Amino acid sequence: MTARRMLSGRILPWVCLLALGACGPSPKEEATTPAPATQADASIAPASTEAPATTPSAKADAGPLSCADEIGATAAQKRADLCRQVSPATRPPCNVANSCAMIEDEIARSCSLFASKGDPMPECRIDPKSKEAAAAVVERYYSALNARDFGTAWQQWGDDGPPNQTMDRFAAGFADTRSTHVTIGTLAPGDAGAGSIYQPVPVTVDATLDDGTRQRFRGTYVVRRVNDVDGATPGQLRWHIDSAKLTPVR
């Protein structure tokens, strides 16, 4: 299924009705490119990268957009330095050659890990349990999609990615998409139930296809984390996308 179909107002895997979680594979320090057969947004601001139009094959060959190319070498290095300060990993992905979304995901993972142990770090600017941290998951998702870092985007849905989608199908769904831009709306208080906390995140998504076609969608992502219960794993205690419902704006 192509992104053109996914963004056209038909029955779409991530647009109309989606009931589609947050520690991924072991991170590596070197720049990494998610393998096609593996798993598809910290302030609340629109996540957007306007990449030049390219053919699908050229985009695939280019690999993910580096953080240095996305926001500049100086800003990217500041994010990478913060990532190294907070990450407990032996070889964290805190490298400006990786996507900004991958670096931010490692920062969020580390902040959540230490907060779950009752020892929050001053470098963590957002409370990992807050609704703002939940909204940041959606921002990282779109940031990763814009960078064509489908592995990091996948991980925002959890270890197994969106339900009923392989990594190949997930990535192929965005083959004709040049860029997406997400704007987060006003966050209402979340709901608790059955040992989990659910945070609605209202969004407006503007998409541009390779042929220049522009489309807009509005709706809500629901981001979930397990409540602070005994036996919960670090991954379960992190916010991850649980479901989404977006509809085209005519």
* pTM attached to this predicted model: 0.76
* Dist. CA 227–CA 214, nearest whole Å: 39
pLDDT tens column, 229-248:
777 777 788 999 999 999 99
Sign of the dihedral through C-alpha 1, 147, 246, 126: positive
pLDDT tens column, 79-117:
999 999 999 999 999 999 999 999 999 999 999 888 767
Q: What's residue 177's pLDDT?
A: 94
* Dist. CA 121–CA 141, nearest whole Å: 24
Q: What's residue 218's pLDDT?
A: 98
Distance of CA 172 to the CA centre of its chain: 17
| pLDDT band for position 220 (cuts 50, 70, 90) | very high
Q: What's residue 122's pLDDT?
A: 79
- Residue 226's DSSP bridge partners are 196
The yes-or-no verdict on residue 195 having pLDDT over 60 is: yes
pLDDT tens column, 160-169:
888 888 888 9
The yes-or-no verdict on residue 2 having pLDDT over 50 is: no
Q: Which of 25-34, 44-53, 133-142, 174-183 has the lowest mean pLDDT?
A: 25-34
Task: Report whether 239 contacts 132 (CB < 8 A).
Answer: no
- CB-count burial class (<10 Å; 0-12, 13-18, 19+) for 11: exposed
